[in-house]
Amino acid sequence: MTSTGTTTEQFPVRVLGGPTALFTYGGLTFLTDPTFDDPGTYGEGTGRELAKTAPPAATPAELGRVDVVLLSHDEHPDNLDHAGRALLADVPLTLTTPGGGQRLGGSAKGLADWETVELPRPGGGAVTVTAVPAVHGPGAREEVEPVTGQVVGFVLTAPDLPAVYVSGDNASLDAVRQVAERFTAIDTAILFAGAPRIPVVFDGAALVLDSASAAEATRILDARRVVPVHCTGWSHFSEGLDELVAAFTAAGLADRLDLG
């Protein structure tokens, strides 16, 4: 198992809409799955249309310096849209899936499960980013990836800081259990939820955690704080914040939610 820092310092996580969140950890600024387009529809006529229903809470120009993008995957516009893709050119490092690293090129680096990257911190020391398993749909990974592609999550650690888990577009509680086995103290979990469903994909099953599964993931991780993302702003998200709060309340975990 990997032990983590015991400090319980709270740090703000700014949720910008969809799967996109901005936070500073160890003096470095991280951005998850950049989506900054205006509302609109992607993939019209394909049977897999995705409709964005709300604008982002900030534009890329308003973010300030971003040191690292944590990109769960590059193949779907609700995780990396046109404006988000353009932003990557201005970011020193994008961490993503092995396939995504090849497709994106430039400053993108693909990571396999449990592969780590050491990021120098301002003033000395390092933040360790570990790639962790994620499955973008129901069932076994080998059955899901040919349909929805590779996805990766991340754990951020440093000796003096609480551990942070970024789930990415993961629907698998088994993947969450693997993270909990490797990391003994997840402090903050940025959980992608929303139970997105597309009727022609896996018969409309949830492709990312639904609200009840997000609560169970919190219990598995014993995370002190959960920041939910990926549950507003897109029409295929079948559950929003109301359902999430209800599920966490039913599970006795409402005090873990940080809705900003």
Pairing verdict, β 108-110 and 93-96: parallel
230 inside domain:
yes
4 pLDDT more than 70: no
- In the predicted model, what is the mean pLDDT of residues 237-247? 95
User: Do residues 179 and 189 lie in contact, with contact meaning Cβ atoms separated by under 8 Å?
Assistant: no
Is the pLDDT reported for residue 8 higher than 80? no
Q: How far apart are CA 73 and CA 95, in angstroms?
A: 9
E-only strand ranges, 37-144: 40-42, 50-52, 68-70, 93-96, 108-110, 116-120, 126-133
Q: For residue 204, what pLDDT band results from cuts at 50, 70 and 90?
A: confident
Is the dihedral angle over the CA atoms 153, 156, 157, 161 positive or is it negative?
negative
Confidence bin at 5 (pLDDT 50/70/90): very low
The pTM (predicted TM-score) of the whole model is 0.94
- What is the C-alpha separation between 66 and 76, in angstroms, rounded? 22
d(CA 155, CA 157): 7
Range of the domain at 64: 13-39+50-256
The identity of residue 69, as a single letter, is: V
4 within domain boundaries: no
* pLDDT attached to residue 43: 80
3-state SS class at 146 = helix
pLDDT tens, residue by residue, 39-82: 999 986 677 789 999 999 999 999 999 999 999 999 989 999 99
Cβ count near 152 (within 10 Å) = 29
> How far is 214 from 196, CA to CA, in rounded Å?
13
Per-residue confidence (pLDDT) for residue 123, from 0 to 100: 86
Asked whether the predicted pLDDT for residue 224 surpasses 80, the reply is: yes
pLDDT band at 3 (very low <50, low <70, confident <90, very high): very low
Q: Is residue 127, in this structure, part of any structural domain at all? A: yes
Q: Kindly state whether residue 45 falls inside one of the protein's structural domains.
A: no
Confidence of residue 10 (pLDDT cuts 50, 70, 90): low
Return d(Cα 16, Cα 69) in angstroms, integer.
14
On the question of pLDDT at 238 being above 80, the answer is yes
| pLDDT value of position 226 | 97
CATH number at 186 reads 3.60.15.10
Domain count within the chain: 1
pLDDT tens, position by position, 79-131: 999 999 999 999 999 999 999 999 999 999 999 999 999 999 998 999 999 99
Helix, strand, or coil (residue 178): helix
Residue 6 lies in a domain: no
- The mean of the pLDDT values for the chain is 93
3-state secondary structure of 155: strand
Is 44 inside a domain boundary?
A: no
Q: Is residue 101 part of a domain?
A: yes
